[in-house]
Structure 1
Amino acid sequence: MNIDPSEIVYFEWGFVRITATLVFAWITTAVIVTGAYFLTRNLSSDAKISRKQNAVEALFTMIHGQINEISQGSSGRILPFAGTLFLFILASVLLSLIPGFLSPSGSLNTTIALALCVFFAVPFYGISSQGLKGYLKDYLKPTWIMLPFNIISEISRAVSMAIRLYGNVMSSSIIVGILVTIVPLLFPVALQLLGLLTGVIQAYIFAVLAVVYISAAIRNKEESTSESE
């Protein structure tokens, strides 16, 4: 049976509530930070480099290339944020293969938090690129009548990202749980691999959507500049 980690409470005192979602999110973050430390220390610029460094550079090049292609040249600004989103969701999915580990991305609280990060990152990158006045003008395009609709669009976009990620992760977990219960000896490994593949795809899609929304806010400045010229 699939368990929502937000339903498991480890500690509660007043309004302070430590749930499994928080604990496993902290564990995921600690694993990423620790892994990044051991993988990136002692990096060399020599011609002869280790296989560990080759793997790190290959992963960085892949993520950088994907972001650069989608953002059309703005990867330097977006890479730290979008790359972190991708690695966090990916790590939470991979760690869920460990018995007893509850993926934090299987909780609606986590997916909402990730979507809110994207929600606030879009105006942050947009304002840093266009300035406050220039960014707010985008909400009045093509006419001021569209202001409430543009605001609703921003909010609904964040909500849809959270629900999409939560729904896909939870649905794959529920399907795996049902089929393993029905045929416990035949499908477990294949279904775990299927769930892993689904999680990797969702991590990729979530990061891609974040890049699309942020790069759109950045490109508005470039388009307005080219029109004025």
Structure 2
Amino acid sequence: MKIFNVFPETIFSIGPVHITDTVITTWLVMIAIITISYFATRKLSVKPSFFQEIIEAVFEAIEVTIKDILPVEPWLVIPVLGTLWILIGFSNLAGLIPGLKTPTADLNTTFAFALISFSMTHVIGIATQGLKGYLMHYKEPTWLLLPFHLIAEVTRTIALAVRLFGNMLSGDMITIILLGIVGLLVPVPFSLLHIIIALIQAYIFGVLTLVFIAGGIRTKS
């Protein structure tokens, strides 16, 4: 695993735009997901191969989770949230590849994901209830709490970004420290633990997004 700075490193610039190591790794992750998706869907069959069964199991898990939490048509959310789930999962695991930095160990990346979550909450709420109907949930239990509702919107978005960032950064830093102390004795089992944590963090991010969306819909009168 690459030893990295807490702050992203600029690799090159296009005018005033700085392209960092985090951005490049994220691009590589996106290319990997697109490539896997392309080859995974080229030869779908009613008699699925082992690889197709894995893909179908992942898709079914995403669909069932969304159906269980969201009180509206799940297909309003599945394409975007499913993609976000997969992108975060792959991003969390990218740091296991030598020479690559974990994109989610960069606060800029996790804030971008959190803003997507924030936007989805309001877009889905308005799409399912209308603007007026969605805004009504801010009056519960009383309009006097409106400022606190607005503060909560901001703080939970920040918390969502910082939680993912903190977990992934700390995991990478612990690995680096262990490599310096005990060499190659620990990294293999710790890498397995890192995979589990990476997938769990991606799952938690998606579930929290669903909870935020559902919270604005269930209070509809």
TM bucket normalised to smaller: over 0.9
The question of whether the paired residues in 2 share the 8 Å contact of 1:122 and 1:214 is answered with: yes
Q: Does 1:77 align with 2:76?
A: yes
Count of aligned pairs: 220
Residues in 2 aligned to 1:12 and 1:177: alpha-carbon distance in whole angstroms: 29
Matched, 1:216 2:203: no
2:171 matches 1:168:
no
- Deviates most, 9-18 or 142-151: 9-18
The answer for the alignment partner of 1:227 in structure 2 is none
CA distance in 1 between partners of 2:198 and 2:206 (Å): 12
Describe the shift of the 1:5–1:167 C-alpha distance in structure 2 as closer, same or farther (beyond 3 A): closer
Indicate conservation of the 8 Å contact 1:93/1:103, yes or no. Answer: yes
Q: Which runs of 4+ in 1 moved over 4 A?
A: none
TM-score normalized with structure 1 length: 0.89
Answer yes or no: is 1:135 the counterpart of 2:151.
no
Give 5+ residue unaligned stretches, structure 2.
Answer: none
Contact kept? 2:25, 2:101, Cα under 8 Å = yes
| Alignment match, 2:180 | 181
Match of 2:44 in 1: 43
Q: How does 1:94-113 map to 2 (within 5 A)?
A: 94-113=93-112
- State whether residues 20 and 102 of structure 1, in contact with CA within 8 Å, keep that contact through their aligned partners in structure 2: yes
Which letter maps to 1:24? Answer: T
CA contact (8 A) 1:4 1:107 kept: no
Identity %, equivalent residues: 43
Matched, 1:119 2:121: no
Residue of structure 2 equivalent to 1:65: 64
Contact 2:10–2:18 (CA under 8 A) maintained in structure 1: yes
* Alpha-carbon distance between aligned partners in 1 of 2:91 and 2:79, rounded to the nearest angstrom: 18
Deviations 1:37-82, CA, capped at 9 Å, x for gaps? 11112323x3x23333222211111121122222256432222222
- CA–CA distance in structure 2, aligned partners of residues 106 and 49 of structure 1: 36
CA contact (8 A) 2:102 2:168 kept: no
Deviation at 1:7, TM superposition (A): 2.4
SS in 1 for 2:59: helix
How far has the Cα of 1:5 moved from its partner?
7.2
Name the CA distance, whole Å, in 1 between partners of 2:53 and 2:109: 32
CA distance change for structure 1 residues 109 and 4 in 2, over 3 Å: closer, same or farther? farther
Aligned position for 1:86: 85
Question: After the TM superposition, which of the residue ranges 123-132 and 55-64 deviates more from structure 2?
Answer: 55-64
Q: Which blocks of at least 5 consecutive residues in structure 1 are unaligned? A: 225-229
User: How far apart, CA to CA, are the structure 1 residues paired with 2:116 and 2:7?
Assistant: 19
- What corresponds to 2:24 in structure 1? 23
Following the alignment from structure 1 to structure 2, what is the Cα–Cα distance between the partners of residues 35 and 106? 24
Q: Secondary structure at the match of 2:219?
A: helix
